[in-house]
């Protein structure tokens, strides 16, 4: 049962071409830009625009793959999407899309999947500009100086001020677009885009500003441009993690804390050396990198860490974080305890911990005014915050 209102706009996304000029080893729509193929990027933006029926026109044999991409892009809007099989020419593919429109649709946008990075704002602007009588195309001014040529001979200059480079989506009132397609079929006429077909049937087409990002991926150079734009525009965000640890005094031997040996100080108890500072740092870093927690990687199921010191814990954590594709930014730690007196060895502790992680670690210490278990001298409580950057 539908939870969404039935839209009065449909977007036909033509993706049935073979991509001869790109020569990417698969139909063009399924060639990867990054981890995602051209079709997925196009559909991510189509579904980010105002709700519309989305008709994906797929190459024969690739309907299932198109459906997968459509569902992934649509999220909660999946019920607005449908996949149909395309034809031998772009015009036939659009015609196949038209035959799948819902009854309530009055405005139709036709969009090239190959214009994969077209901003949702451009899609919305075209939909808004369509009227009952006129179609709309987004277009950019022509920047190159143009020549009319005859083979290798320059015949004349062309005034570029009178020209515009057409993009998609192109938007039309449904009834007139369907009639225009029927007329073109009857005449056996082929047009390079929908606006030309619509205009040939005697209808008006207006233009609105296009966008540099709506360029069509035709060749390998275009694919490189798309990769560059995605890489430059979408840096992955840094991530933070938090870790806490508490250990009671009462272990065997001397105290180990913040990576340092404290001869003569009461030891902390624990599966390893009880270094609560090191353990809080481990949880903060694992949390930041989304790698689970210390129990999972170092718990009692891993007897090799029994009695281990901070160098083993932090060295292994540094490897795990790096393997997950992150660089450590910094770590800030605070411990609460009456003992040991920390100020005299702060610089030493920070140096040791920073060297182990290959990133700055700062450590602060506080007492708790006699309150709670740290105040009663029963143990230490530590909090750590870590920042990591995706590489
Ligand atoms: N298209 C389509 N059906 C066709 C031909 C093209 O749906 N029979 C679609 C393409 O998938 C593309 C858009 O129309 O999204 C623009 O076409 P174009 O860039 O020419 O893509 P291809 O035809 O795939 O590429 P080429 O011409 O290099 O083979
Ligand atoms: Mg083509």
pLDDT digits (tens, 9 = 90+) for 353-387: 999 999 999 999 999 999 999 999 999 999 999 99
Distance CA 268, CA 179 (A): 83
* Inter-residue contact 47 to 74 (CB < 8 Å): yes
Q: What pLDDT shows up at residue 1?
A: 47
In testing the pocket of ligand 1, which one of 13, 86, 109, 114 has its CB within 8 Å of the most ligand atoms?
114
Helix axes 220-233, 38-48, angle to 10 degrees: 50
Q: How many domains does the chain have?
A: 2
pLDDT digits (tens, 9 = 90+) for 18-61: 999 999 999 999 999 998 999 999 999 999 999 999 999 999 99
- 141 shares a domain with 258: no
Q: Which ligand is nearest to the CA of 27?
A: 1
Confirm or reject: Cβ of 116 under 6 Å from ligand 1: no
Tell whether 1 is covered by a domain: no
Atom number of ligand 1 nearest to Cα 38: 15
Residue-number span of the structural domain to which 159 is assigned = 9-229
> Omega before 169 cis (within 30°)?
yes
- 73 shares a domain with 52: yes
- 17 shares a domain with 122: yes
Q: What pLDDT shows up at residue 5?
A: 77
Q: How confident is the model at residue 150 (pLDDT cuts 50, 70, 90)?
A: very high
- 249 shares a domain with 224: no
- 214 shares a domain with 126: yes
Domain-ending residue, one of 229, 251, 281: 229
- 91 shares a domain with 208: yes
Give the mean pLDDT of the chain: 95
Tell whether 4 is covered by a domain: no
Confirm or reject: Cβ of 274 under 6 Å from ligand 1: no
Tell whether 3 is covered by a domain: no
**86 CA from centroid of ligand 2 (Å):** 13
Residue closest by Cα to atom 18 of ligand 1 = 17
Half-sphere exposure of 191 (CA within 13 A, CB side): 17
- 64 shares a domain with 169: yes
In testing the pocket of ligand 1, which one of 15, 20, 28 has its CB within 8 Å of the most ligand atoms?
28
Tell whether 127 is covered by a domain: yes
Rounded mean pLDDT, 232-244: 81
**8 CA from centroid of ligand 1 (Å):** 26
Pairing of strands 107-112, 9-14: parallel
**227 CA from centroid of ligand 2 (Å):** 21
Q: How confident is the model at residue 3 (pLDDT cuts 50, 70, 90)?
A: low
**39 CA from centroid of ligand 1 (Å):** 12
Atom number of ligand 1 nearest to Cα 27: 24
3-state helix, strand, coil split of the chain in percent (to 5) is 40, 30, 35
Element (H, E) at 128: helix 120-129
**14 CA from centroid of ligand 1 (Å):** 7
Rounded mean pLDDT, 158-168: 95
**Structure token digits, residue 96:** 């196949």
Domain-ending residue, one of 229, 256, 283: 229
Tell whether 300 is covered by a domain: yes
- 362 shares a domain with 316: yes
% of the chain beyond a pLDDT of 70: 98
Confirm or reject: Cβ of 16 under 6 Å from ligand 1: yes
- 333 shares a domain with 207: no
Q: How confident is the model at residue 194 (pLDDT cuts 50, 70, 90)?
A: very high
**Structure token digits, residue 312:** 């083993």
Tell whether 191 is covered by a domain: yes
Q: How confident is the model at residue 2 (pLDDT cuts 50, 70, 90)?
A: low
Say which range, 131-140, 300-309, 314-323, 379-388, has the weakest mean pLDDT. 300-309
Confirm or reject: Cβ of 89 under 6 Å from ligand 1: yes
Is the pLDDT at 273 greater than 70? The verdict is yes
Domain-ending residue, one of 185, 204, 229: 229
- The CATH number of the domain holding residue 293 is 3.30.1330.50
Tell whether 234 is covered by a domain: no
Q: Answer yes or no: pTM beyond 0.95.
A: no
Confirm or reject: Cβ of 85 under 6 Å from ligand 1: no
- 245 shares a domain with 371: yes
- 137 shares a domain with 99: yes
Residue written as token pair 């049962």: 1
Instruction: Say whether 363 sits in a helix, a strand or coil.
Output: strand
Tell whether 2 is covered by a domain: no
Distance CA 101, CA 74 (A): 18
- 368 shares a domain with 222: no
Distance CA 240, CA 243 (A): 10
Taking the CA atoms of residue 217, residue 221, residue 223 and residue 226 in that order, the dihedral angle to the nearest 10 degrees is -90
- The CATH number of the domain holding residue 66 is 3.90.550.10
Confirm or reject: Cβ of 93 under 6 Å from ligand 1: yes
Residue closest by Cα to atom 8 of ligand 1 = 89
């Amino acid at each position: 049962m539908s939870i969404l209102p039935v839209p009065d706009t449909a977007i036909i996304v033509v993706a049935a071409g073979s991509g001869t000029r790109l020569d990417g080893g698969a139909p063009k729509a399924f060639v990867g830009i990054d981890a995602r193929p051209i079709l997925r990027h196009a559909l991510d933006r189509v579904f980010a625009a105002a709700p519309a029926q989305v008709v994906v026109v797929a190459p024969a044999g690739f309907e299932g793959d198109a459906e997968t991409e459509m569902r992934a892009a649509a999220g909660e809007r999946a019920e607005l999407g449908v996949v149909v099989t395309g034809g031998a020419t772009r015009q036939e593919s659009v015609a196949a899309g038209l035959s799948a429109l819902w009854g309530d649709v009055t405005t139709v946008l036709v969009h090239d999947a190959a214009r994969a990075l077209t901003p949702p704002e451009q899609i919305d602007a075209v939909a808004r500009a369509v009227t009952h009588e006129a179609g709309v195309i987004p277009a950019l001014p022509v920047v190159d100086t143009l020549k009319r040529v005859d083979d290798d001979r320059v015949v004349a200059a062309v005034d570029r001020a009178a020209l515009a480079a057409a993009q998609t989506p192109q938007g039309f009132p449904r009834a007139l677009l369907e009639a225009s397609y029927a007329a073109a079929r009857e005449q056996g006429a082929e047009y390079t885009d929908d606006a030309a077909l619509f205009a040939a049937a005697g209808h008006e087409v207006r233009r609105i500003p296009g966008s540099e990002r709506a360029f069509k991926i035709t060749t390998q150079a275009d694919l490189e441009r798309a990769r560059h734009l995605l890489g430059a525009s979408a840096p992955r965000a840094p991530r933070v993690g938090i870790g806490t640890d508490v250990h009671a005094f009462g272990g065997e031997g001397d105290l180990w804390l913040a990576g340092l040996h404290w001869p003569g100080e009461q030891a902390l108890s624990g599966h390893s050396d009880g270094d609560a500072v090191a353990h809080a740092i481990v949880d903060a870093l694992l949390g930041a990198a989304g790698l689970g927690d210390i129990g999972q990687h170092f718990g009692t199921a891993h007897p090799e860490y029994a009695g281990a010191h901070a160098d083993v814990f932090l060295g292994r954590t540094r490897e795990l974080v790096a393997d997950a594709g992150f660089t450590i930014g910094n770590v800030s730690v605070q411990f609460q305890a009456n003992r040991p007196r920390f100020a005299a060895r702060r610089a030493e502790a920070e140096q040791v911990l920073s060297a182990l992680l290959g990133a700055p670690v700062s450590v602060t210490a506080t007492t708790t005014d006699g309150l709670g278990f740290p105040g009663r001298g029963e143990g230490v409580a530590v909090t750590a915050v870590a920042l990591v950057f995706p590489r």
